[in-house]
Homo-oligomer: A and B are copies of this chain.
Amino acid sequence: MIIDKLIDRIAELKNPTVVGLDPRLEYIPEDIAAEARKLHGPTDAAVKYALLTYNKGIIDALCDIVPVAKPQIAFYEQFGARGVEAYLETIAYAKDAGMIVIGDVKRSDIASTAQAYSDGHIGRTDVFGVKTAFSRADFITVNPYLGGDSIEPFLKNCAEYDKGLFVLVKTSNKGSGDFQDLIVDGTPLYEICGQYVEKWGAGLVGRHGYSSIGAVVGATHPAVVAKLRKMLPRTFFLVPGYGAQGGAAADIAAAFDKNGVGAVVNSSRGIIAAYKTQGYRGMGYADAARAAALDMREDLRNRDI
């Protein structure tokens, strides 16, 4: 089961890090950007070349030390169809390099439409009789606001194709409180949501006791992380908010169970744009990403658990 593969790979590399592949053109090193523009001019084809070249360098530099890659589709989709090609080809490249991939798409819709998203991102789409997998992502993120029946088509594909989900439960942004913290009969909405996730995952529990249906729980709310960890024993956490967003390793410790299992921790620009930050300046972008990932691994190992 995919959740077991994830947990095994984390154990193998002794590293629960997810590298967020959220490329922006301002992160792309000048030599790659210049080559892209030389080949294709200031066009979406140049963007595709630049994003892919940059991502491949990062993946090559990290694939033996970081178990998981998480491309955020917004940073690709904003460039139209060529951007989507870069997203899908990045996933394929990371898969071929042995990484587990989370497609950060945060999709949500009602049943038949959710089925189309599910087929496109973690299933197969019927192309005139040919069942085609357009994305090779192992997991995707989904938004639960539309309710249980909007999640079902995703659960079905998870079972059929051995894929997984991370459902948004408590996000790392400040405004997450506007809805997610509202109190319903004494219980915050994010807890109610977490309980749904625990239930949705009941049929997909692997041999480590965790389910392929996980939850997104932001590192910027340490007390919430700790409470949810206790409440949701079989729900694996994807924890954004480390590093650039302000979360520290100590804040993240609560996401793990007593065996040190139960979560992956995402860092995006802290790794992929490390070469632009103090401490890594002067290094090539890929070397800097590797150095930053090693520092993060060390930081997470020293977390207070």
List A residues at the B interface (Cβ < 8 Å). 22, 25, 33, 36-37, 42-44, 46-47, 72, 74-75, 77-85, 88, 106-111, 113-114, 116-117, 119-120, 125-130, 132, 134-135, 143-150, 168, 171-180, 182-185, 189, 192-193, 196
A49 vs chain B, min Cβ distance (A): 11
The answer on a CB contact under 8 Å between B128 and A78 is no
What number of copies of this chain does the assembly contain? 2
Q: Give the chain B neighbours of A175 by CB distance below 8 A.
A: 146-150
Q: Which residues of B contact A179 (CB under 8 A)?
A: 144-147, 189, 192-193
Contact B182 A168 (CB under 8 A): no
Q: Which residue of B lies closest to A89 (CB)?
A: B81
CB distance from A190 to the nearest CB of B (A): 10
CB distance from A48 to the nearest CB of B (A): 10
The complex places the Cα of A236 from the Cα of B204 at a distance, in Å, of 42
Given A81-B82, A110-B172, the answer on whether A127 and B42 have CB atoms closer than 8 Å is: yes
A193 contacts which chain B residues (CB < 8 A)? 179
With the chains together, A120 CA to B176 CA distance in Å? 23
* Complex partner residue of A127 from B44, B77, B149, B174, CB under 8 angstroms: B44
How far is B288's CA from A148's CA once the two chains are assembled, in angstroms?
Answer: 35
Do the beta carbons of B147 and A22 come within 8 Å of each other? no
Docked pose: A132 CA to B46 CA in angstroms: 13
The answer on a CB contact under 8 Å between B47 and A180 is no
Residues of B within 8 A of A107 (CB): 74, 106
Cβ of B74 and Cβ of A109 under 8 Å apart? yes
Q: Measured between alpha carbons, how far is A132 from B60 in the docked complex, in Å?
A: 31
For A33, the closest partner residue in chain B by CB is B128
A146 to B171, CA, bound (A): 7
Whether A79 contacts B145 by the Cβ 8 Å rule is no
Q: A81-B84, A110-B171 are in contact. Are A128 and B182 (CB under 8 A)?
A: no
Judge whether A80 and B120 touch: CB under 8 Å. yes
Decide: B84 and A80 in contact? CB cutoff 8 A. Answer: yes
Further 11 A-B residue pairs, CB within 8 A, beyond A78-B117, A147-B176, A149-B173: A22-B113, A46-B128, A77-B84, A80-B88, A144-B178, A145-B180, A146-B173, A146-B179, A148-B178, A179-B189, A182-B192
